[in-house]
Structure 1
């Protein structure tokens, strides 16, 4: 059974100054995929974000700081996955349409997630449909 969602492993460039992590490159996108919006999520201890899916939007997420409990469910196949992810895991989550996604801050420090979206947010057409996957 195909999950639909992906965890993409990234390889940071590291030297004495620190590290550089390329989150998404044009060469990783399919011909019909593009990025219209980039934003950062800041979440306090025990808070939950997401708990929704999109019908048109593809999103990419990576943990910058903290520990996220991530829950994903493909509404087409029924495939589910739940795991904890931190910045040191060097993962980018690719979440296509019809995949419910939720993030919970399980750590004591604020959770910071970088997000990229194929659709710019429009409050008149949010393309956001609530599903409670994570509490």
Structure 2
């Protein structure tokens, strides 16, 4: 798939490092231009061999970055026939931006817990989950 055909995007993180350690800015207001607000921020803790996601949203933009471990990620545009799979670790210094109608799933194939920081433009509500199951991983 040509990079012009991507339905998702990577946002590079440029960590600031000094003798104290490292600072990584995860989401800045300028990156939220496609959504009106920030709905919620949460951490996903995934045990070995577990899969999360396998769904899409009609209204929500989501941003994901790996904090610990290695994530196998599968993405598929709602009206596309082919899904893409790749791996992301914290050392990659990237944020994955997933727009509405993008099926997404994360698998922990490693021996330790996978930790992902997730940011959503819409706060979860049991009355309107905006979550539609579609298994790709």
Shorter-chain TM-score: what band? over 0.9
Tell me which stretches of 4 or more aligned residues in structure 1 moved more than 6 Å. Answer: none
Match of 1:73 among 72, 76, 94: 76
Q: Distance in 1 between matches of 2:34 and 2:86?
A: 30
**Normalised TM-score (structure 1):** 0.94
Unaligned runs of 5+ in 2: none
Match of 1:55 among 58, 62, 71: 58
- Tell me if structure 1 keeps the 8 A contact 2:76–2:82: yes
> What TM-score do the two structures reach when normalised by structure 2?
0.92
| Cα-to-partner distance string for 1:100-134 (whole Å, 9 max, x where unaligned) | 00000011110000000000000111000001110
Alignment counterpart, residue 41 of structure 2, candidates 38, 51, 58: 38
Deviation at 1:81, TM superposition (A): 1.6
1:112 aligns with 2:115: yes
Deviations 1:22-81 (A, max 9, x none): 111002221643211000000000100000000001000000000000000011344532
Separation in structure 1 between the aligned mates of residue 56 and residue 34 of structure 2, nearest angstrom: 22
Deviates more, 1:1-10 or 1:98-107: 1-10
Tell me the number of residue pairs that the alignment of Structure 1 and Structure 2 aligns: 134
- In the TM superposition, residue 16 of structure 1 has moved relative to its aligned partner by 1.1
